[in-house]
Amino acid sequence: MGCVSTKLVPESPPVTGQVVKTVYAPGVDYGGRQAPKSGKHHHHHHGAANQQQHARIEGKGQAGAAGRQKDYVQSDPPSRTTKKVARYKAKFDPRVTAKYDIKALIGRGSFSRVVRVEHRITKQPYAIKMVDRIRGKEVCESELNVLRRVRHPNIIQLIEVFESRDKLYMVMELATGGELFDRIIAKGSFTERDATTVLYMVLDGVRYLHSLGIAHRDLKPENLLYYHPGHDSKILITDFGLSAFHKSGDTYMSTTCGTPEYIAPEILLRKPYTCQVDMWAVGVITYILLSGTMPFDDENRTRLYRLILKSKFSYAGEV
């Protein structure tokens, strides 16, 4: 997730009914009893890993994986993996570990860690995103405000939420198929048929969000996950840290945010904009799927923005 220099200030959510409430508030265990007090957990920083510079698609084999969250862990020696899991278990609220068994670290961001877990009773796998409530407050609130209210086959589903004084734990469905970005890197480009299949699912999810007055504002291949590794897997829209709700009677937004290569011209011009900026991002994704390259690409940020504002690109389709 990338955000331009302007600080993100999430818009206020509507007062519609929630799908998922905070199930376990601070100080209450998962059985409804008063939870025992525990010492403050120390959160280790790893820099702005989630505010990465994105790799150029043409670099295919290099993929720029260094800064991006992955939904799998590179193989470590068993001893290191065991120690790593134990270290993260120690950081989790005991109410969470009483219900879920932590299996592996699968992603990390500037203010968050994502782990693969297993429900201790049902053995169902899930992902838990642990967010620093102090340092990541704005992004955390934006994402939670959306996920609590949406339910769609092509949007990552929030299962339940745990809260402590300094941490927020979001239990979500687990996507194991990897990022759309990685499949583009592996395939080079998609056929029109395969691209259409992906885009239909993405557009159906975006249509649903827009019908609720929600703008994602950071659509890109890295935020589109395959539910499972199979060729017939559905696509899930994820990462709502930059999302926004329309206020009642106000369809315009003004926050300058997004990932540079996917930002719509009106955002760069600092003009009021609507949910349609998501459609610009879908257009960029479509170009990438079909060509394997970026429509607007320059390592210099200023020149990149000039290319976007000119909106000049060329594409030769299948023959």
Active-site positions? Answer: 218
* Residues 227, 155: Cα–Cα separation, whole Å: 10
Tokens of 315: 């594409």
Torsion of CA 102, 99, 41, 85, to 10 degrees: -10
129 annotated ligand-binding residue? yes
Q: Of 237, 242, 236, 239, give the one whose Cα is nearest residue 215.
A: 242
- Calculate the alpha carbon distances from 147 to 20, 56, 223, 225 in Å: 8, 30, 15, 16
Q: Count of alpha carbons within 13 Å of 100, Cβ hemisphere only?
A: 27
Q: In the chain, where do the E strands start and end?
A: 22-24, 100-108, 112-119, 125-132, 158-163, 167-173, 214-215, 224-226, 235-237, 244-245
**Binding-site residues from annotation for ATP:** 129
- Per the annotation, binding residues are 129
